[in-house]
Amino acid sequence: MFRSLGSLSFGWRARRTRRVAGRGCPPDDRQDTRDAGRPSPDTTRPRRVDDNPGVGETAGLRRGIRTLTLLASIAIIVMLVLAVASALRSRHAASERGKHLDPAATTTAMLLADFVDQESALRGYIVTRDRGFLEPFDDSRRSVPALNARLDDLLADFPDLRAQRTRVDVAYGTWRREVVEPELAAMARGDVAGAAGIVRANARRDFDELRRQAARLAGQIDREQVEASGRVESSSVLLLSSLASAMFVILGVLVTIMIVLRRWLLRPIGALQRSVNSVAAGRYDTRIPSVGPAEIVALAADVETMRAQLVRLVRQNERSWEALAQQGPAVIALRDALTPSLLRARGLMLHGRVDPAQGELAGDWYDAFELPDGRVAVVVGDVSGHGAAAGVFALRLKQLLDAALSTGAGPAAAVEWAVENLGETEEMFATAIIAVVDPRSGELHYVNAGHPDALLLRRAGPAWAMAAPAAPPAIPHPAAPPAPPAGAVDDARVDAVVDAADPARKRDAGVAGPRPSVSVSAIVGPAAGARRRPTNQAPAPKGNRRHPAAQIVRLPPTGPLMSGLLAAPGAWEIRTLHLEPGDALIAYTDGLVEARDAAGRQFGAHRLIAEILRDPGRTPVGLLDAAFDAVRRHAPGRQGDDRTAIILARTSEPAAITGGRS
């Protein structure tokens, strides 16, 4: 509200805070008041980890966990290396057996069968002399080189087996050279007896040697197969044992960590949780234990600090509730005392409204009462702040202004006398508009003490303001708005003119129906006519009200705000206006025009003026309620300041003041 006075009131607030802290409270309450929002040094000092006796134990546990984790990691790595090595070994052994040894064993068996087939075919040929017996011999003789070549390929990675295969080849060559070829040559010559002699002499010996060497090769291949199978089995066992060992190590580490964490972490957290739950249940004297690792100790220290602050706040709150129980009736009486007085005056219609901020006792007020000489006094004030202190200050100021005006003082003299008798206001200050109007003549004297501009609505007699039907007075063309009558303040500003001429006149001019003209704004006073600027249009009024023209005159402050520091003789000047029937004076507090929407935009006096000019022919009650509704639509959230306004309209009929709080 009073942003421009922030620097002026800063020192007052500091002095006021020091004084209020020492007034009206016992010594212990004053201390609690000073310390309510500030933690004490003893409770807020961060505890050092070294101060806790359990930290040494937790440090040892921490080192033990680190050592255990390191050893477990090494063991797991070793187990994994062994598992990988065994897996590779098993894979290699399986590859050897599958790709080399098994085919080599099969080929060796086939080779031995060919040797036997050749020997049997040769014996049958010698005995029967039938060459048909040599067909298997020829087939086997052709297949032996291929089988030998295949064995060479399969046994390339096995030097011992290749050496044995060479011995088989040598034995095969000896048998062929010493037995087979001489027998075939003898049979070709027809020397059966010679062939039989060769068989008896060398055949059995050489073939047995060949078969023995082939059998030895088969045996060696079989032993290699057994060894490969053993390697596969041992590798599988090693793999399984390594994985099992790793699993046991991991399980052991997990169990150990769980046990250590339960002792080192979960138990302290459980103790902390039980203590916090106890405090949450209302047992505020429960101490928060400082056990466990350094992090939990630090957390417990913070929670203990919070608990101590909570205890202080709860106890202070209890004392505040006790004080509220004792002072509640006084607050109600204070609110009732600020309720505006009721007034019924012929020739005037008044309506006021107060929306207090956040449901608190409002620092705004308005009042209207009749003076001994028949005139009517209207006061609208706004005190800085909210709550009981603002309400008390507003009540004092209201009573002083009422007393001064009731004794015949003018508005300016009443303001000076009230400020003088307020005493030391310190950081408290107020703004106000004080107006005195004569219902018979319409003469209005007013003072604006640092208050937002009042609005004077000039209109040519709406129907509700006329005592009897009569033709409206002549209204100048809206392009040249009528200046305020003689006696009006020089610095008043005409904000807008709305032309809603009588429909009959419009028809005479050849215009179908009423149409609003372009509104204009002009400066009235010494510079009247010097400059004009277009403003917002206002729509034509509804219904059968007649207000051929309407304009808003803004009445700026005529002196500073009400404060003992700014009081001086002649500081507040009195100004005079004349109200015609249908004219209305609207005074409001800054909470009405400073309401902000979600984007932070103020409602502003321009929106208030636009709302009034939207239908200036409405009744005073309708005008004021529509203005409050427009503000609420603009700022629908929780209001942060009091919203107060009163409208005073001159009429030739008696009316009653109405007012309310939303």
For the cut 70, the answer to whether the pLDDT of residue 96 exceeds it is: no
Structural domain includes residue 176: yes
Per-residue pLDDT at 9 exceeds 60? no
Domain assignment of residue 272, yes or no: no
pLDDT of res. 407: 92
Clarify whether residues 5 and 138 are in a common domain. no
Cβ-contact 495, 535 below 8 angstroms:
yes
Number of domains in the chain: 3
pLDDT at 628 over 90: yes
The answer on 487 and 628 residing in a single domain is: yes
> How far is 257 from 264, CA to CA, in rounded Å?
10
Q: Is the pLDDT of residue 347 over 70?
A: yes
DSSP state string for 74-135:
HHHHHHHHHHHHHHHHHHHHHHHIIIIIHHHHHHHHHHHHHHHHHHHHHHHHHHH--GGGHH
Same domain, yes or no: 10 and 122: no
Q: Note the pLDDT of residue 481.
A: 40
pLDDT score of 291? 78
Whether residue 508 has pLDDT greater than 60: no
C-alpha distances (whole Å) from 26 to each of 32, 38, 613 are 10, 19, 57
Residues 7 and 118 in one domain: no
Contacts of range 633-640, beta carbons closer than 8 Å, 24 or more positions apart: 634/595, 634/597, 634/603, 634/607, 635/595, 635/596, 635/597, 635/603, 637/598, 638/358, 639/355, 639/357, 639/358, 639/591, 639/595, 640/357, 640/358
pLDDT of res. 88: 65
Give the closest residue to 620 by CA, choosing from 345, 347, 351.
351
What mean pLDDT comes out for the span 603-614?
A: 95
249 and 358 inside one domain: no
Top-confidence range, 76-90, 247-261, 620-634: 620-634
| pLDDT per residue as tens digits for the range 212-227 | 888 888 888 888 878 7
- Give the least confident one: 11-25, 342-356, 585-599, 601-615: 11-25
pLDDT band per the 50, 70, 90 thresholds, residue 662: low
pLDDT value of position 251: 81
pLDDT of residue 486: 38
Residue 299 within any structural domain of the chain: no
376-383 and 364-370 beta bridge pairing: antiparallel
Domain membership flag for residue 333: no
User: In this structure, are residues 528 and 546 in contact, taking their beta carbons and an 8 Å threshold?
Assistant: no
Output the pLDDT for position 621: 92
- Any idea what the CATH number is for the domain that residue 421 is in? 3.60.40.10
H helices within 422-460, ranges in order?
none
Within-domain flag for 323: no
| 142: confidence class by pLDDT, cuts 50, 70, 90 | confident
444/581 same-domain check: yes
- Residues 279-303 have pLDDT tens digits of 888 787 888 888 777 778 888 888 8
Same domain, 344 and 235: no
Give the domain-ending residue among 208, 241, 258.
258
Q: Which of 258, 280, 306 is the last residue of a domain?
A: 258
Highest average pLDDT, of 6-10, 159-163, 632-636, comes from: 632-636
On whether both 27 and 61 belong to a single domain, the answer is no
Q: Is the pLDDT of residue 472 over 60?
A: no
330 falls within a domain: no
Range from 173-182, 357-366, 525-534, 569-578 that averages highest in pLDDT: 569-578
Q: Look at residue 539 and tell me whether its pLDDT is greater than 60.
A: no
Report pLDDT for 304: 87
Is 221 contained in some domain? yes
Give 629's pLDDT tier (boundaries 50, 70, 90). Answer: very high
Distance CA 527, CA 493 (A): 11
Domain extent, residue 16, equals 1-35
What mean pLDDT, rounded, does the chain reach?
73
According to the per-residue pLDDT averaged within each range, which of 26-40, 238-252, 419-433, 622-636 is highest?
A: 622-636
Same domain, 9 and 82: no
Whether the predicted pLDDT of 599 surpasses 80: yes
pLDDT surpassing 80 at residue 512: no
Lowest-pLDDT range of 433-447, 505-519, 545-559, 638-652: 505-519
pLDDT over 50 at 3, yes or no: no
By mean pLDDT, which of 80-94, 154-168, 390-404, 461-475 is the weakest? 461-475
**Going by C-beta distance under 8 Å and a sequence separation of 6 or more, which residues neighbour residue 275?**
286, 287, 288, 289, 303
For residues 98 and 13, state if they share a domain. Answer: no
Amino acid code (one letter) for 221? I
pLDDT at 41 over 80: no
Is position 637 within any domain? yes
Are residue 369 and residue 413 in the same domain, yes or no? yes
Do 166 and 134 reside in the same domain of the chain? yes
Shortest CA distance to 19 belongs to which of 8, 34, 5? Answer: 34
- Tell which of 233, 258, 283 closes a domain: 258
Give, in order, the Cα–Cα distances in Å from 98 to each of 77, 90, 104, 218, 238.
31, 12, 10, 16, 21
